[in-house]
Amino acid sequence: MKTKIITLALLLCVLVNAFMFTASAASPLYGDANGDGAVNTLDASWVLKYDVAKIELTDEQFLAADVNGDGYADNLDATYILEYVAELIDKFPADNGPDYPDGAYVVKTYSAINSIDWTEVPKAQIDIYKWVDSVEYDAYGQLVYIEDYGFICRMTCVESDPLTRYTEFGDPVYLDSCMEFFAAWDNVSYINIESNSVAALCAQFGATKNNRRPITDYLSESEIFTVTPDVGEDVWTLTMDIPISKLQKFYGNGMTAATFASGYTFKGNFYKIGSDAVTGVRHYGMWTEVDGNTPNFHQPDCFGTFVIE
């Protein structure tokens, strides 16, 4: 009996090791030829030594070393690794991970709202200022997708005492110190959500700047997007709750969780704005640059691209 138990234990170890190798081999860390968990010049050296038969590589190391996927680990792979280390390329030819559009904002996906880690969510820097000579605020937008729920948008600005005059829905809050998120969830018509630091909203829907309708034509007073401000000593944030159930009021019930599958793209932009009259500093900041010689954020042709992770 004892012999059988030992035999079974050994068999289990073999199976576990085989599984771990298979999983690792299926998804190697490309470029990590020596298997130390990092990609650096030492890996290029290992590949060159292997190419001239100075060292041997395990099957797992060989898969990681073959960064161009041609079935060999040679000086060409070493060259790719050195280019990667020097940041001349950001991925290897054999790395078949997602190929996102250039300049796209990748929307991270989470299983629940309470699982969001904002420190790991990409920041869309609002660092393009134009039309007037102004202060350039350190501001950025972030967007995540919650499976089977919808989107959470967070905007942040480094600014002390953001000046606010307007307090009611529909007020021209863009004259206050204001942050804005525009998104065309169907790539045609967009919702603009504009808010000051007390969560007074100006929000509309339409395909162009003209003939836009207030979101209250689609949502009841109790359904209006929830925007939660957090004003600190030197920084303030806005967190916008945008569930699919409310997006359906604009786009129809055909827009479901299945719509926002991995790889789905849509258009939008993040803005920071303020007027002379209220803030004392007229400014127009944006993530993706919009065209024209006069201020106009309502240019969907200039929106940036968002893609679901």
The domains found in the chain, sorted by start residue, are 2-85 (1.10.1330.10), 105-308 (2.60.40.1190)
Residue 203 burial by Cβ neighbours in a 10 Å radius (0-12, 13-18, 19+): buried
User: Is a pLDDT exceeding 90 seen at residue 117?
Assistant: yes
pLDDT at 126 over 70: yes
Q: What percent of the chain has pLDDT over 90?
A: 77
Q: What is the pTM of this model?
A: 0.71
Average pLDDT of the residues of the chain: 89
Q: Residue 237's Cα: distance from chain center in Å?
A: 17
Choose among 263, 267, 243: nearest CA to 255.
Answer: 243
CA 182 from centre of chain: 15
Please check whether residue 59 is in contact with residue 21, taking contact to mean a CB–CB distance below 8 angstroms.
yes
Contact present, 262 and 170 (Cβ < 8 Å): no
pLDDT at 10 over 70: no
Across 288-306, average pLDDT? 96
Summarize pLDDT for 198-226 with one digit per residue, the tens.
999 999 999 999 989 999 999 998 999 99
| pLDDT recorded at residue 94 | 81
Please report the pLDDT score of residue 95 as a whole number.
79
Question: What stretch of H or E contains 151?
Answer: strand 150-158
CA distance 177 to 59: 58
% of residues, the chain, pLDDT over 70: 90
What pLDDT does residue 97 have?
67
Q: What confidence category does residue 4 fall into, taking pLDDT thresholds of 50, 70 and 90?
A: very low
At residue 257, the pLDDT reads 97
Kindly report, residue by residue over 56-111, the tens digit of the pLDDT: 999 889 989 998 888 899 999 999 999 999 988 888 888 776 778 889 999 999 99
Output the pLDDT for position 25: 37
In the prediction, which pLDDT does 26 show? 43
pLDDT, tens digit, for every residue of 232-264?
A: 999 999 999 999 999 999 999 999 999 999 999
- How sure is the predictor about 146, in pLDDT bands with cuts at 50, 70 and 90? very high
pLDDT of residue 102: 86
Average pLDDT over residues 133-161: 97
- Would you give the distance in Å from CA 295 to the centre of its chain? 27
Rounded to an integer, the average pLDDT of 107-130 is 97
Chain center to CA of 113: 16
User: CA 26, 32, 37: angle at the middle one, nearest 5?
Assistant: 90
Instruction: Give the C-alpha distances (Å, rounded to integers) separating 27 from 48, 62, 93, 253, 263.
Output: 23, 12, 14, 38, 20
| φ, ψ (nearest 5 deg) of residue 35 | 70, 25
Which element (helix H / strand E) includes 64?
helix 59-65
Is the separation of the CB atoms in 171 and 202 below 8 Å?
yes
CA–CA separation, 153 and 240 (whole Å): 5
Q: Residue 106 and residue 56: Cα distance in Å, rounded?
A: 39
Q: Report the pLDDT value the prediction gives residue 279, as an integer from 0 to 100.
A: 67
Q: pLDDT tens across 41-70, in order?
A: 999 999 999 999 999 999 889 989 998 888
